[in-house]
Structure 1
């Protein structure tokens, strides 16, 4: 794996070699470090390169000035970080750190260090505590005092120091553990898992915005099921996303129902299988949360059945509440909530009993989310009954075919009344005001029910409605 990393880093010699020479000429050490080394070993290195050095920030700026394509301060200088760009690579060069923490917030009391070893031991996980010394003439030396390579080869996530101390310094590292499980497929060391379970309340020190960033990275990973389950098993999810572990409903011998928690994780997995290209966060969040309304709507029915009436309505409200608490953008929140609200509607389709009006409303209510709704509904089929699963797929195929037929006949993406506001005011002799809006909405409903109307039909229907209103 080191040989593979050497090949990867060799491809960056046009950046690394002159950079190493610049620092060596000034008498300073320079190391590629952290996630950049880890990803180089794994063959997944991107365009962001992280370095550490014994040079102080102002000296780093002086070294880079005139060589870097761009040099800027994003506020990182306070923490000893200089940001630069060179040949399509984004560089962050940070002075050795030997920070201490107040253990009230997650903000370090920044102290510059004098050795690489002290810098590495303060990092979150051993797989992120490896370094490659960048010397002059392209020389590279692998440095691994904390046996990060062994952990990487074994797929184990462990902390350089005792995990209790690491998480007390920065509780966000507990969420980062779950995120790395999702992104890298690693297994947390038993002592890491135990510390997470014992220290879950410490995550309350972290701002909602930082929690949201980690959750998004987790759910966008290659193994989000494992990351989510780690959060739930350790109790961390009860602090940051309590609606998910709440889906672990008790099952008794008299009232049997599907395991809602694992069903939701399966739906997430099946939604991911339908993605095309990059991770679709709206789809993934909707898949995970589509049934969070079930615990609040569970009813035991006579005869041993269980019902969850209107759980999609309750679930959509819960999505909005949780995502607002996590400071998600308004449109993102509404998109996820809308998919949760609509995910059950297809089950009223039966064997094709919907009228064209119902199909139009399905398309109109979904709007731009329709492609995602298609994927969510299909992912929501987790029955082990192969005959039933095939029937559901065939029925949804038929619904999509009907949508396409109507789309060819009508512009379903832009369902509008057959008369615009000006025509309504002229026909009814109105000035702008609430009555015009009511008339517009009436014509919109009529358009959904009956499809496109001629102008004469629309005017006649509007006049009849207007007269009926007195």
Structure 2
């Protein structure tokens, strides 16, 4: 794929090479905003360009999600040089342009924008020829679960819900993404958000300490390969179903997280499914 701009033809590989240098700069928003001003961002990343603007209806208005995105990218760049985490920050709200909805007397909503945005990542990676096999799952998951830590910031969050977060492979990156997503200019709100994340980290620490005493292991005791071997089948959707049932049973305390109990459990489940 080549892009023509002002009679200059550039390969998408060269464009992304230069774009990645912008993302890894001290203040990526400067370069990204310049690309927006000259019209090149609309060609490279229309999903991000479409976030620009504020719509006002009956005294209800939403923030400019494009400007917010630039602030998030700058925030996260202060703490990491992980290029693909910065890409996730850049793309984390692209689902908002599709899910935006006005509800009378309530205002603007963007329900499920994280899920929709994560699904849009496939076309973005394919169009820009980004390394799909290596990083697409990582970027998709950061976006898909970007609100999950926030939902756990409460004194009523259960150990099981906290433990689900601990099973996430890139939990530190996910929490950093959530913290970088705070762009409010209200000092009191900013302090409150900071305290909330400190509370979440404390909860995570306490659950880990409890689980260490119980010899809990943060990985599943049964692999997909083991399932295929004991049931004598090749990779299929049923294997995924059994793994999800096992995951639910462990996370919700139905069975302990050890091989013996898990093996007996999946043998019973396998009889019903296979």
Look up the match of 2:72: 267
In structure 2, distance between residues paired with 1:412 and 1:289: 35
Look up the match of 1:312: 114
| Residues 293-332 of structure 1: pairs in structure 2 closer than 5 A | 293-303=95-105, 305-330=107-132, 331-332=134-135
In structure 2, distance between residues paired with 1:424 and 1:253: 56
> Could you tell me how far 1:357 is from its partner in structure 2?
2.3
> CA-to-partner distance for each residue in 1:361-382, whole Å, 9 max, x for gaps?
2232x31x22211111001111
Look up the match of 2:56: 252
Q: 2:179 aligns with which of 378, 386, 389?
A: 378
1:291 aligns with 2:93: yes
Question: Which SS does the other structure have where 1:332 is aligned?
Answer: helix
Change (3 A) 1:202 1:468: same
> Could you tell me how far 1:209 is from its partner in structure 2?
0.9
Pairwise CA RMSD of aligned residues? Answer: 3.2
Asked whether the 8 Å contact 1:260–1:291 carries over to 2, the reply is yes
Asked whether the 8 Å contact 1:352–1:399 carries over to 2, the reply is no
Look up the match of 2:149: 346
In structure 2, distance between residues paired with 1:304 and 1:437: 40
In structure 1, distance between residues paired with 2:37 and 2:225: 56
Larger Rg: 1
| TM-score of the superposed pair, with normalisation by structure 2 | 0.82
In structure 2, distance between residues paired with 1:282 and 1:394: 27
Look up the match of 1:215: 19
| TM-score of the superposed pair, with normalisation by structure 1 | 0.50
Look up the match of 1:445: 248
| Residues 353-392 of structure 1: pairs in structure 2 closer than 5 A | 353-364=156-167, 366-367=168-169, 369-392=170-193
In structure 2, distance between residues paired with 1:371 and 1:323: 24
Give the aligned length. Answer: 265
In structure 2, distance between residues paired with 1:326 and 1:455: 43
Question: Which SS does the other structure have where 2:129 is aligned?
Answer: coil
Look up the match of 1:337: 140
Unpaired segments of 5 or more residues in structure 2? none
> Could you tell me how far 1:444 is from its partner in structure 2?
2.9
Change (3 A) 1:460 1:327: closer
In structure 1, distance between residues paired with 2:223 and 2:50: 49
> Could you tell me how far 1:320 is from its partner in structure 2?
2.3
Question: Which SS does the other structure have where 2:56 is aligned?
Answer: coil
Question: Which SS does the other structure have where 1:213 is aligned?
Answer: helix
Change (3 A) 1:355 1:202: farther
Change (3 A) 1:424 1:444: farther
Asked whether the 8 Å contact 1:232–1:238 carries over to 2, the reply is yes
> Could you tell me how far 1:312 is from its partner in structure 2?
0.7
Change (3 A) 1:218 1:453: closer
Change (3 A) 1:285 1:202: farther
In structure 2, distance between residues paired with 1:235 and 1:421: 49
Unpaired segments of 5 or more residues in structure 1? 1-104, 107-170, 172-199
In structure 2, distance between residues paired with 1:463 and 1:333: 33
Asked whether the 8 Å contact 2:12–2:129 carries over to 1, the reply is yes
Change (3 A) 1:201 1:305: farther
Asked whether the 8 Å contact 1:419–1:455 carries over to 2, the reply is no
Asked whether the 8 Å contact 1:237–1:245 carries over to 2, the reply is yes
Asked whether the 8 Å contact 2:153–2:200 carries over to 1, the reply is no
In structure 1, distance between residues paired with 2:226 and 2:131: 35
> Could you tell me how far 1:250 is from its partner in structure 2?
3.3
